A and B are shown apart, each in its own frame.
Chain A
Amino acid sequence: MENQKKKGLLMLASVVIVIVLYVFFHEMGHCIVAIACGADITEFSILSAHMSYVGGSFTDTSDLWLHANGMVFPLILSYVFMLCYQKEKESTFYRFFAYMAVLAPTCSALAWVVIPIVYLQGNAPAGDDVTKFLQRFSTRYHPIYVTFGAIVLIAVSVILMIKKRIIQNAVMELKGKVKGDGMRKKVIVASSILVIVLVALMCFLFIKRNVYEVEFEKDISVQDSVVQEEELEYEIVIPRDGEYVMYANWQISPAGLLTGCSIKDENGEDVNTFSAECIDMRSAVMRLTAGRYTMTLTFISSGEQWKEYFADFDTTDWDVTSGEEPQYQFLSDGVLHFNFDFRLEKHIDIWITANILAALIGVMLAILLIAVTQTGDDIKQHYDERQELLRSRGRKYALYTMLILDILLFLGDVVGIYLPMSVGFASFLCALVGIGVYAVYCIWNNVYFALNQKAGAVVAVLVLVGAVNLIGGISALVEGKLMQNNELTLRSLNLLCGIMIFVICGALILKKVCKDREEE
């Protein structure tokens, strides 16, 4: 037990030291390029992971290096460290430290794999080194080259880690811990807590961050082309500087009136002004400073009024209006029903965070389910020699199945057979069929369950996961969201996964029915 505590402390110490060292070398990487280009370093902080400089003459290439060197410099140092690594040295701290020291720069390179893809979708995090790099890089080359380059760097790192036995040595040191008393229970408790925390974080992420909301319905009468309704004014208080997004939704029935919506700051400066008969829009991200703003709704009942309304604005650059009055049929008399819904929300770029959280929840749930479905203290699944042999044969058949399907898909594509799915979807489908073949083969040969696995619990988990997927898939089917633009959507994967899991369950039932009763 003492030994385990010592190992835990050594691991913690190596993590802390590596984080500090990584930040230092990351900022140092930026500084080296800045100094080489003649700049003076004005700020260098490890605590806030920040450096700043003044002056210097940067070319296109040196500017790219300035952003990239924060990742490249620590990675090159880690390569040098790996080449000097002594695999025979039996110090626990040395082994943990080496593992962490190599893992940190390798993981930081992952951002250079992911962000170019996100950048292509227009969601790259602003202010990040990779984004800054890509903004310049993409003027000449395709951003995906950065992803490929980063994958090569990571691959070199992983190969060196394995060749130099850095991973194996760290795992060897950890193994004593893994096999400790009650490890399975600890894993269950830890992964349950993590799942709950991560789900709570996810919920928090999706909580509406409304700064302001107004919603109403009213009847507006028009007599002799004059609206019998005053302008409506609303005061909006922005609590702090930041990025905000506006949602506006209004309808008027019957048609015949335009509504102008104008938001102005305390000084009367225009923030956003637009007009529409009916609208359902989400604005671009707006940077607003803290303070009071006024939103005014104006009902426009003629072209003249419309021109008057926009008279204060320079509309010459507007693509849509061009300063000319709209070709619109106004109602001269009548009563119109007006529905209005307006929200101003704090903008948070949750795309990446939500996906990372979802992936972490998935991993933690998988660990939890594996731990729950086993017996004993060990969390590793144990198979006997016959099971290992047949399982490896099953993996071989699964691989052949995937290869054959991939070749068929390729040939189909060459011949011109249209499949209603993207290439990624088709590849996933091949993998899914491969997994199905592996599972059914293992079930049929009685090697599906490990020696220390509770068969009933595994089946219960399978049914649960299958049911969740089927419900998701069937709801997509009912909503008509299985296909979009003549292609199967990601939601149809739920249906396919659900079907595959129930095929596995079917194979388990069938095997149970045909169970060999030769014994006794």
Chain B
Amino acid sequence: MKNLKLKSARAALDLSQQELADKVGVSRQTINAIEKGDYNPTIQLCRSICKVLGKTLDELFWED
């Protein structure tokens, strides 16, 4: 399932996938895979992404 919350949070900060990936310390393809729902990140990576985007885990990774 696509993670549109993450995509919109990233877009809100005007960050490209590559920029977010660099800040988090992963590859662009990994961010792309998370947004597309092809990869389930570990809790550490979720926390890193949340910190960079200024969101909570619930806001980005909890299903409504």
Across-interface contacts of B16 in A (CB, < 8 A): 519-520
Q: Which residues of A contact B27 (CB under 8 A)?
A: 384, 386-387, 446-447, 451
Interface residues of A in 443-460 (CB under 8 A from B): 446-447, 451
Q: Which residues of B contact A304 (CB under 8 A)?
A: none
Contact B25–A516 (Cβ < 8 Å): no
> Which residues between 368 and 410 of chain A lie within 8 Å of chain B, taking CB atoms?
384-387
B29 interface contact, C-beta 8 A: yes
Of the candidates B25, B26, B42, B44, the one having the most CB atoms from chain A within 10 angstroms of its own CB is: B26
User: Contacts A451-B25, A519-B16 hold; do A387 and B36 have CB atoms under 8 A apart?
Assistant: no
Chain B positions 6 through 46: 1 when the CB is less than 8 Å from some CB of chain A, otherwise 0: 00000000001110000001111110110110010110110
- Contacting residues, chain B, for A519 (C-beta < 8 A): 16-18, 28, 32
- The size class of the interface chain B forms with chain A is 10 to 19
Q: How far is the CA of A337 from the CA of B45 in the complex (A)?
A: 84
Cα A385 to Cα B49 with chains together (Å): 13
| Chain A residues numbered 466-520 whose CB sits less than 8 Å from any CB in chain B | 516, 518-520
Decide yes or no: A518 and B25 within 8 Å by CB, A385-B41, A385-B42, A385-B45 being known contacts: no
Most buried by A among B30, B36, B39: B30
CA distance in complex: A221, B26 (Å): 85
User: Is B32 touching A384 in the complex (CB atoms < 8 A)?
Assistant: no
Interface residues on A, range: 10 to 19
What residues of B have a CB within 8 angstroms of the CB of A387 in the complex? 27, 30
B36 and A518 form a contact (CB under 8 A): yes
> A518's closest neighbor in chain B, by CB?
B32
- Evaluate contact between A384 and B28: CB separation under 8 angstroms: no
Closest chain A CB from B25 CB (angstroms): 7
- Complexed CA–CA distance, A181 and B44 (Å): 28
Least CB separation from B35: chain A residue: A518
B32: which A residues are within 8 A, CB to CB? 516, 518-519
Q: Name which residue of chain B comes closest to A382, CB basis.
A: B25
Which residues of chain A are within 8 angstroms of B36 by Cβ–Cβ distance? 518
In the bound complex, residues from chain B placing their C-beta under 8 Å from that of A446 are 27, 29
Residues of B within 8 A of A386 (CB): 26-27, 29-30, 33, 39, 41
Tell me the bound Cα distance from A454 to B13 in angstroms.
28
Give the interface centre of B18, B25, B27, B28 by most chain A CB atoms within 10 Å: B27
**With A and B bound together, what is the CA distance between A447 and B30 in angstroms?**
9
Interchain CA distance A451-B22 in the complex, whole Å: 9
- Which A residues are in CB contact (< 8 Å) with B28? 519
A96 to chain B, nearest CB (A): 32
Residues of B within 8 A of A451 (CB): 25-27
A residues within 8 A CB of B30?
384-387
Instruction: Name A's B-contacting residues (CB within 8 A).
Output: 384-387, 446-447, 451, 516, 518-520
- 25 A-B residue pairings within 8 Å (CB atoms): A384-B25, A384-B26, A384-B30, A384-B45, A385-B26, A385-B42, A385-B44, A385-B45, A386-B29, A386-B30, A386-B33, A386-B39, A386-B41, A387-B27, A387-B30, A446-B27, A447-B29, A451-B25, A451-B26, A516-B32, A518-B32, A518-B36, A519-B16, A520-B16, A520-B17
CB-CB nearest 5 A-B residue pairs: A384-B26, A446-B29, A386-B30, A519-B17, A386-B39
